[in-house]
Each structure stands twice: as structure tokens, then as C-alpha cells.
A = this chain, B = another copy of it.
Amino acid sequence: MRKTYRITVVGGGSWGTAIANLLGNNGHDTILWVRNRELLTVLKEKRENPIYLKGVKLSRNILFSNNLEESLKNRDIVAFAIPVSFLRGVLKEIKQKPNGMAVSLSKGIEIDSFMTPTEVIKESLGIHEDGLAALSGPNFAREVAQSLPTATVVASKNKETAMAVQDAFSSPTFRVYTTSDVKGVELCGAMKNIIAIASGISDGLSLGLNARASLITRGLAEIVRFGSRFGAKRETFMGLAGVGDLILTCTGNLSRNRSVGLRLANGETIEAILSSSKMVPEGVSTVKAVYMYSKEISVELPITQEVYRIIYEGKNPKEAVKSLMNRPLKEEYYLL
């Protein structure tokens, strides 16, 4: 018999809901915390999240709550599925430090602090890094909710923590690998969203599949170049949280960041795009965080730079592509 964990998922977006459902189906005592009262009512009545994960019947093992304090009492694991821009705000509401492990399910970077989600959690809650983990990989929420085969990575400085999360989250269709490279996993998870926007722009301008494949490859080079400065491991870039998630987000139609790029290429403004979307496309803030920081530490990130200019300086996407194409020819290999 498998061990049963008491787990709370904080955040009822599509990913939080899908993970809570996975954990419920794994037989764990699961709480899904959501702030929105109306959503809570629907979740309780219908056992479905019609806003973020329509059509998926949720596990009977999930208790829904909007009481944060109650939700976090005596839990083995607390998992945060909150967009990075709202993460610190939610964490501030937590008065009592949770006594179990904390797992980040978010993919992004806090703009002003340039901190990753686990760093924000660590600072806000005062949790030791041994009790922290980040879960990331090529994981569209809807497919996980449909029990389609999926692989992911859980990163923790502490091997036991990583293995406990692996133990709790693994299912016959959800394969969880472990690693100790927390920073690498989180940087990959954040940066791939920038390249996904670029990829959407390329597709939106009908540049073709050759161009998109090259763009993703050069995007990977930017992730490697930037991430290496933070001690991220080469293996992480080549793994599920790196190239795996990059491929998924840049080529998959379910990707919200790629959709942002498609719409930008179509001439829509970023304001119009953001105001019409229920989901938070993390790449829009991540590109700002990464671009600003890359200036500070003098790392050249041409794709990131052009995406930043399109979103924050109103540069025409076609002009941005030209800028990328007209860079001088050289030997292929970027600094690794």
C-alpha cells in the first residue's frame, strides 16, 4: 500500500486544479485552496472547475476551501500554484509557517527581486531550503487531468524532500524524476515562456517550421548562456524541465504564452491581449525580469531582447524578426 500524505494545493487555476486532482486520485488527503468564493461554491457543488479546467470531474478526495489558515494546518506538503506576480501577496497572508514541505508549481521570475518562486517562498515563509522543492516539466494541465502520460522533474537541495514529493505525486501516468538543481529547473521553467512568445510571433508571421525550429534552438542557447551564470547544470537544460518544456511550450497549441506571441504578430496590443485572457501568461513579466537582469550582468540574449522590445517598447514584430535575421553569420556555437 502506498503512503498517504496530507497535502494542500494553494491556487485553483488550471495547474493547481490538475495537480490537486492527481493527488486526490493518488489517494492522498488533499485540500485545494482557492480565493474566489464563487469558484469555491461551484467546485463544491459540481466537483469541477468550469473556469480553468472545464469538463474534468475532480477526485472525491479533494476538500475545497478558501480558508488559508485552516488549509495549511498540519500538512505534510503544501504546494503553491500561484502566478509569480501574485505569489508574494498570498504568502504574506500566511501567519503561521507551514510545518511540512513546500513545493513550488509556478514557472516564472519575480520582476523586481529577480527571485525564483522557491526563493520567494523561502524568504516569505522562512522555510529552510531542505524543506523546499520545485516541480517543473513539459506538463500541460489539461493532459495531466486527462491522465495522459506525462513526465516531470522535482528539484530539491535535499534528496529526501525530492523523493517524498516524487513518492506523493507519482502515478502510473505521471512519472516524476528527481534532481538537486533547483535553480536550473526554475530558470528553465521561467525562460521557456519567453521563447514561447517568440515562437508564437514566428508562427503568427507565417515564417514556417524551419524558422521556428531554429528560433527554439537559439532560444535554448540563451537559456543555457543565462542559466549557466547562476550555476545551473548542463543536464537540466538537456532534460525535461529544460528542452522538454521548451519544446512543449513552443510547439503546443495549448500554450498560453505562445498564444500571446500569435496575437502580437497579429497586431494586437499587449494590453488588449492581457485584458482578454483568464490565464496569466508568465512570459510577459518574465521577459522583463530576465531582460533587465541580463543587462546588469552583461549576458547577450538577442531573442529575449526583441521580445522585450515588442512587448514593452511597441516594436513592430516584423522589424524584430529582421533584427534577429540580420545578425552577422558566425561559427554556430554560442558560449556554453
A251 at the interface (CB under 8 A from B): yes
Q: Closest 5 A-B residue pairs measured CB to CB?
A: A138-B213, A217-B244, A177-B332, A148-B208, A213-B248
A137 — which chain B residues lie within 8 A by C-beta?
214
With A332-B179, A332-B235, A333-B239 in contact, do A149 and B244 touch (Cβ < 8 Å)? Answer: no
**A238 touching B336 by the CB < 8 A rule?**
yes
| A–B Cβ pairs within 8 angstroms, 25 of them | A138-B209, A138-B213, A138-B217, A143-B208, A143-B211, A146-B208, A148-B210, A149-B325, A150-B210, A151-B214, A175-B214, A177-B329, A178-B332, A179-B332, A179-B333, A209-B248, A213-B247, A213-B248, A213-B252, A216-B244, A220-B243, A224-B238, A235-B332, A235-B333, A238-B336
Tell me which residues from 127 to 151 in chain A have a Cβ below 8 Å from any Cβ of chain B.
137-140, 143-144, 146, 148-151
Residues on A lying within 8 angstroms of B by beta carbon are 137-140, 143-144, 146, 148-151, 153, 166, 170, 172, 175-179, 207-214, 216-217, 220-221, 224, 234-235, 237-240, 243-245, 247-248, 251-252, 254, 321, 325, 329-334, 336
With A153-B332, A217-B138 in contact, do A143 and B175 touch (Cβ < 8 Å)? Answer: no
**A331 touching B146 by the CB < 8 A rule?**
no
**B329 touching A176 by the CB < 8 A rule?**
yes
**A217 touching B234 by the CB < 8 A rule?**
no
Of the candidates A177, A216, A239, the one having the most CB atoms from chain B within 10 angstroms of its own CB is A239
Report the bound CA distance from A217 to B220 in whole Å.
13
Report the bound CA distance from A144 to B207 in whole Å.
11
**A252 touching B209 by the CB < 8 A rule?**
yes
In angstroms, how far is the closest chain B Cβ from the Cβ of A159?
9
**B146 touching A332 by the CB < 8 A rule?**
no
